[in-house]
Amino acid sequence: MTEAVNTPDVAQYLLTVYPLTEHEVRKQLEETVKKDYEKCVVAEVDGDPAGYVGLHLEQGRTRHIGWLGIWVRRQYWGQGVGTALMEKFIHMAKAHGCRKLMLDAFEGNERALKLYRKIGFKIESKVVKRSYIDGKWRSGIVMSLELASLEPRIDSLPKQKIAPKVEKELSEFKVRQLMNMDLDELNKLQNCVESTKSSTRIPPVSKEKTKEWYESLNTQLGKFCFGCFKSKRMLGYLQFNAAPPPFIFIDVREFIVDIKESPVTVANLLVKALVDFKKRYIYRQITCEIPITSTILAQALEQNGFIKTGTWKGYYFIDGYYVDAVSYLHS
């Protein structure tokens, strides 16, 4: 497997940077098989490992979604191994209750795109300049396949009762990194049923889980978070992952604001801080998906230069309804 993922023909289309050592590949696999939301299968040809397929099961409000990861060793290409792995993948996904399958591919990976189209996958969004490999920019393509109906659907939730107001006194707000003393405030926010509807998070969240989440942040691994505070009160946070080169993009993973207190200002300040972070370093792109119903976040993204790149149909499941995700890009 180590040899396979270090072969340039294969590695150029994966979201890893090669060369990887054998102990790194082993560690990754050991960690993968321990997680109940990761499933994987290898293909063998006469006892020789020929390919791999992984299913990542999403959690919380997107728990009906499964993501694909696949590769076949170079010498076995074009012999049906990829097709067999895809069939296995779909079987696994059905067995785990997935209603929709998604994947992230690179433009120009014709062999893979042909395979996905053959199975029935369709394009949902496209991000230009997703990676820079071998002197070329490559666009990213998100594709999906529905396994079961995503009904009932809804495009908007009941209007929020509190009218969002824009604060004049911005100096009262502070965007900064999270600290140990913020844990209670963080837990309160993660337990706010209305505010968390902009994310995949479903309350209740125990104090232990909040602490575990906070301690999983790791800037060395590209996992960052900004919090927005008004005196000691935490009014929102934005967690994002900054991918290692050559994938010079940032992915927003979670964006929550307290809808009862200055949500417009808080969302705006958090997005501004994120855009500044991107400018400070080498990053070229920020991608962000939010429920179509999260109008306050949408406004903050659009005011700060984000543009829509597509819609991921029925990506969230909120209050008994499937809700589309709008995918945004800042480049």
Ligand X SMILES: CC(C)(COP(=O)(O)OP(=O)(O)OC[C@H]1O[C@@H](n2cnc3c(N)ncnc32)[C@H](O)[C@@H]1OP(=O)(O)O)[C@@H](O)C(=O)NCCC(=O)NCCS
Does 112 bind ligand X (CB under 6 A)? Our answer is yes
User: Judged by CB under 6 A, which stretch of 76-84, 130-138, 150-158, 174-182 contacts ligand X?
Assistant: 76-84
Q: How far is the CB of 75 from ligand X (least distance, A)?
A: 10
Minimum distance, C-beta of residue 14 to ligand X, in the bound complex (Å): 6
Beta strands in the chain (DSSP E): 38-45, 48-57, 65-72, 100-106, 122-133, 136-146, 173-176, 223-230, 233-242, 249-257, 285-291, 307-318, 321-330
Main-chain dihedrals φ then ψ at residue 165, nearest 5 degrees: -115, 150
Determine which helix (DSSP H) or strand (DSSP E) holds 78, and give its type and residue range: none
Q: What angle do CA 286, 292, 295 make, to 5 degrees?
A: 85
Choices 23-31, 78-86, 171-179, 199-207 (CB under 6 A): range interacting with ligand X: 78-86
Residue 119 C-alpha from the chain's centroid: 23
Closer residue to ligand X, CB minimum distance, 110 or 169 = 110
What angle, 0 to 180 degrees and rounded to 10, lies between the N-to-C axes of helices 81-95 and 110-119? 50
Which amino acid, residue 328?
Y
Of the pair 11, 192, the CB lying nearest ligand X is at 11
Single residue of 2, 6, 13, 183 touching ligand X by CB under 6 A: 13
Stretch that binds ligand X, among 56-64, 68-76, 87-95, 186-194 (CB under 6 A): 68-76
Q: How far is the CB of 254 from ligand X (least distance, A)?
A: 25
Residue 254 is which amino acid?
Answer: E
Selected range binding ligand X among 113-121, 277-285, 297-305, 320-328, rule: CB under 6 A: 113-121
Asked if 122 touches ligand X (CB under 6 A), the answer is no
6 binds ligand X (CB under 6 A): no
Q: Which of 114, 207, 233, 308 binds ligand X (CB under 6 A)?
A: 114
Which CB atom, from 86 or from 242, has the smaller least distance to ligand X?
86
When the beta carbons of 140 and 236 are compared against ligand X, the nearer one is 140
Site string for ligand X, 90-109 (x = CB under 6 A): -------------x-x---x
- Give the total of residues touching ligand X (CB under 6 A): 22
Closest-CB residue for ligand X?
82
- DSSP 8-class letter at 164: P
Residues 136 and 107: beta-carbon distance below 8 Å: no
Short-list 87, 83, 57, 291, CA closest to 194: 291
Which span sits near ligand X by CB under 6 A: 111-119, 164-172, 283-291, 296-304? 111-119
> Does the protein bind ligand X through residue 151 (CB under 6 A)?
no
Give the integer Cα–Cα distance in Å for 98 and 65. Answer: 6
Residue closest to 194 by CA, chosen among 237, 262, 256: 256
Question: Closest separation between CB of residue 42 and ligand X, Å?
Answer: 13
The closest of 90, 129, 122 to 106, measured between CA atoms, is 129
Which one of 82, 227, 291, 314 is in contact with ligand X (CB under 6 A)? 82
Q: Show the DSSP H helices in the chain as ranges.
A: 2-5, 8-11, 22-34, 81-95, 110-119, 183-190, 207-216, 263-280, 295-303
CB of 143 to ligand X, least distance (A): 9
Q: Which residues bind ligand X (CB under 6 A)?
A: 10, 13, 70-72, 76-83, 103, 105, 109-112, 114-115, 118
